[in-house]
Amino acid sequence: MNKSDSQLKKDIETELHWDPRINAAQIGVTVDKGTVSLLGAVDTYPQKWAAEEATKRVAGVRAVAQDLTVKLHYDHQRTDAEIAAAVLSALKWDVFTPSSVTAKVESCAVTLEGQVAWNFERDAAEQAVRKLKGVVAVHNAITLKQQVSPAQVKEKIESALQRQATSDASSIKIEATGGKVTLSGQASSWRSVQDATGAAWAAPGVTEVVDHVKIQMSY
């Protein structure tokens, strides 16, 4: 589907207004050859990511540059001490977050540290604290343990893509070096890229995934 930048901008603005999690009046949208920039301020940290998710749902979006700042509403403001206590409680109660994960809070920004065996555990820790009141940013510095050889990693990812019948699986290339996986090639949608990166992160031993896949729209 061939969309002009003006039509794409209109569709994105409509999608932002459609999502009840987002105050679209605070967000500016610019589009240049399918690359979207989001500008402005939002009331909460989760709203910042909701805006990006909504933008990626729109057909024709090739890339998203997010430059949204978080300006907390008075009701959501908390001290670093209050946030730290809430973060520790959230991590402790999350069943997917191991005890090796630690956190520190500075100027309402949370930094997660420690080492885990699986990427889903790292993601779980971030998800556990992302929606807490008072948080303006989450920096995920949790590292992953390498468990298997690069050849095994590549084979497992390729098998997962074929097993899941992932769209565009044959056009996405996989290169594994140590625990680092680089994805390249082409895909027809964000969903295909997300499926590929999800399969890569699910492989044991993967410590980093680099996404160089290009979105190739049909015209």
User: Mean pLDDT, to the nearest integer, of 36-42?
Assistant: 95
Q: 2: exposed, middle or buried (C-beta count within 10 Å: 0-12, 13-18, 19+)? A: exposed
- List pLDDT tens digits, range 96-148: 999 999 999 999 999 999 999 888 999 999 999 999 999 999 999 999 886 66
The answer to whether 217 and 206 have CB atoms below 8 angstroms apart is no
- List pLDDT tens digits, range 44-58: 999 999 999 999 999
Q: Which CATH number covers residue 44?
A: 3.30.1340.30
Nearest CA to 16 out of 73, 56, 59, 45 is that of 56
Amino acid 83 reads I
Domain that holds residue 162: 150-215
Q: What size, in residues, is the chain?
A: 219
Domains identified in the chain, total number: 3
Task: Looking at the structure, tell me whether residues 138 and 172 fall in a common domain.
Answer: no
pLDDT score, position 11: 96
State percent of the chain over pLDDT 90: 60
Task: Looking at the structure, tell me whether residues 99 and 131 fall in a common domain.
Answer: yes
- List pLDDT tens digits, range 167-208: 667 788 888 887 888 999 888 878 888 888 888 888 877 888
